[in-house]
Amino acid sequence: MRFYTRTHKHYCGIDLHAETMYVCIVDQDGVVLLHRNIPCEPDRFLRAVAPFREDLVVAAECIFTWYWLADLCVQQGIVFVLGHALFMKAIHGAKAKNDRIDSRKIAGLLRGGLLPQAYVYPAKMRATRDLMRRRLHFVRLRGQLTAHIQMTYHQYNRRSPGKRITYASNREGLSEGFADASVQDSLNADLALISHYDLIIQEIETAIRQHARRHEPNNLALLKSIPGVGDILAMTIIYEIHDIRRFEGVQQFASYSRLVKCQASSAGKVTGTSGNKIGNAHLKWAFSEAAVLFVGKCPDGKKLLARIQRKHGKGKALSILAHKLGRAIYFMLARQRAFDLEKFTRS
């Protein structure tokens, strides 16, 4: 975890909400210069901090409303720091808690060099990253509808559709074999929604491909050199990472991607693991999918997986392969080199 340790003349802590923001500004000695609740309006915020603009740093917790504040600070030349929400929850534990207290604590953590940092994703690629995440949400909703059709067949002890119903050509007549009209209506509703999601997802993927070719054409080609990795996985990895140089090393990148587990110990005794939900869940999913597809598309990948299974067991093999792919992708992007299958399987 990285902490913001730069010194400034003025420190501004903000407890940010959807419609209001509680602003607290302190100086180098910790004296409160401003402590006020104001609406979430750019003009009101700029007027409030105007007397303290000289060497000002602004910090807010990483919640869903931080985009506009970060962009405003960038436009105005104000240093902006985003606080890591999970770590700040642990720091903010107190008997009394309200917006006024929280804003004062954020300013104090910022001044003391103890504010845990989250990454401030630049506005240029942020919207496309969010569109990529929205696509994944729709894909999962479509998967739930597909699973409900399969469950309905099992409920009535009927043979499951022989072909994969993810393909539109295999969905015709799925509801006709049921005598009850209500069951038919239920399945027809699922099928109609699935068809609608197909169109939406296809349109989103087309738009993201156009953005990806404009934002990161070189990295897109590099990642697709990995067997099994196509446009969707490559674009997910690109937009979740943004800039590989923001990671100090491959270990930090692997930790951020949830590819490693941190050991928890006390008094010399190992008590398990910790921090399993800290990091980027979307990268974890992407590397896990990449490992499965790599094995399915590459004969050498199957041999590598078998070798890992003999040493570590079947349960850990795919996780180890995903970690190995994550490390390889880090060096591919850092060195701008395509995937070397021989070197990957040899090591």
CA distances from 289 to 262, 282, 284, 292 (A): 22, 11, 9, 5
Question: Would you say residue 90 has pLDDT above 70?
Answer: no
pTM for this structure? 0.86
Work out the average pLDDT over 104-114.
Answer: 93
Which H/E stretch holds residue 313? none
Residue 276 pLDDT greater than 80, yes or no: no
Sequence length of the chain is: 347
Q: Report, as an integer, the average pLDDT of 54-62.
A: 95
Read off the amino acid at residue 53: R
Q: What is the pLDDT of residues 295-339, one digit of tens each?
A: 999 999 999 999 999 999 988 999 999 999 999 999 999 999 999
Flag whether pLDDT at 272 surpasses 80. Answer: no
Contact (Cβ atoms closer than 8 angstroms) between residue 57 and residue 79: yes
Q: Which residue has the higher pLDDT, 83 or 213?
A: 83
Q: Compute the Cα dihedral for 305, 310, 315, 320 and give only its sign.
A: negative
pLDDT at 270: 81
Concatenating the DSSP letter of every residue in 168-220 gives GGG-TTTTTT-S-HHHHHHHHHHHHHHHHHHHHHHHHHHHHHHHHHHH-HHHH
Terminal CA-CA length for the chain: 30
pLDDT of residue 296: 93
As a whole number, mean pLDDT of residues 107-118 equals: 93
Rounded CA separation 288/306 (Å)? 17
Say if residue 44 is exposed, middle or buried (CB neighbours under 10 Å; 0-12, 13-18, 19+).
middle
**Mean pLDDT score of the chain, rounded to an integer?**
91
Q: Whole-angstrom Cα distance, residue 253 to residue 230?
A: 22
Tell me how crowded residue 314 is: count the other CB atoms within 10 A of its CB: 11
Percent of the chain with pLDDT over 70: 99
Q: Nearest 5°: phi and psi at 43? A: -65, -40
Alpha helix (H) ranges present in the chain?
42-49, 66-76, 85-91, 99-112, 123-155, 181-215, 217-223, 231-241, 250-256, 281-297, 299-312, 314-335, 341-346
CA neighbor of 51 nearest in space, from 113, 93, 9: 9
Per-residue confidence (pLDDT) for residue 216, from 0 to 100: 84
pLDDT at 42 over 90: yes
Average pLDDT for 272-290: 88
> Mean pLDDT over residues 130-143, rounded?
95
Kindly give the interhelix angle for 231-241 and 123-155, rounded to the nearest 10 degrees: 130
Between 200-209, 267-276, 287-296, the lowest mean confidence (pLDDT) is in: 267-276
Question: Quick one: average pLDDT of 238-245?
Answer: 94
